[in-house]
A = this chain, B = another copy of it.
Amino acid sequence: MAEQQATREAVLDAALAVFTEHTYDGTAMSVLATRAGVAVGTIYRHFPSKEALGNAVYRQWKARLAADLFADHGADGAGGAGLPVREEFGLVWRGMLRFAAEFPDAFAFLELQQHAGYLDAESVALTERIDRAGAELIIRGQRSGEIRAGDPEVLVALAYGAFVGLAAARRGGGATGAGDLALAEEAVWDLLSR
């Protein structure tokens, strides 16, 4: 039974790796099976279809990303902790950084690919929940005067897009210095604040 869990995880890990490298549609189940070190049939004992597996991978990592960004300080959406928004932003930013450094494939899979073709309603809902949490942080900053006025959705899109761009560059082999990261955090905060 622990055995079974291990197999399931091997499949999820392999799926992340090959989907990231070759795209969901560009990946054959047989390739995935080989990468996971199991037989094709085994995958289907754990996931009813390729589509279900794709959603499982997506959700696993999107949820983990959300947890890494918002869970460990008070600002998990409902909230509004006592922290200055600048510091809260720093926590979120460095959470993204940590996630993207520790799980570069997961970040690339989540944010550098198009999933519209196979995501189900639950996966979409999860994504929207996360976007909302970002917008709420912005709104708190606007209330406190720390963040500039304007549609919070636009500011989230710009700031998160900037981070995705940075992560993509790092994935491509650039922006590897430690100074780059401090620069980036400052620059994006300036995008948001003044």
Residues of A within 8 A of B (CB): 21-26, 112-114, 116-117, 148-151, 153-166, 168-169, 174-175, 177, 179-180, 183-184, 186-188, 190-192, 194
| A162 partner, pick from B25, B113, B159, B169, beta carbons under 8 A | B159
Docked complex Cα distance between A177 and B114 (Å): 25
Chain B: CB-nearest residue to A161: B165
Determine whether the beta carbon of A26 is less than 8 Å from that of B175: no
Question: A183 — which chain B residues lie within 8 A by C-beta?
Answer: 148-151, 154-155
Q: Which residues of B contact A166 (CB under 8 A)?
A: 154, 157-158, 161
A117-B160 contact, Cβ under 8 Å, with A183-B150, A187-B155: no
Tell me whether A174 and B154 are in contact (CB under 8 A).
Answer: yes
Contacts of A163 in B (CB 8 A): 161
Q: Quick one: closest B residue to A148, CB to CB?
A: B187
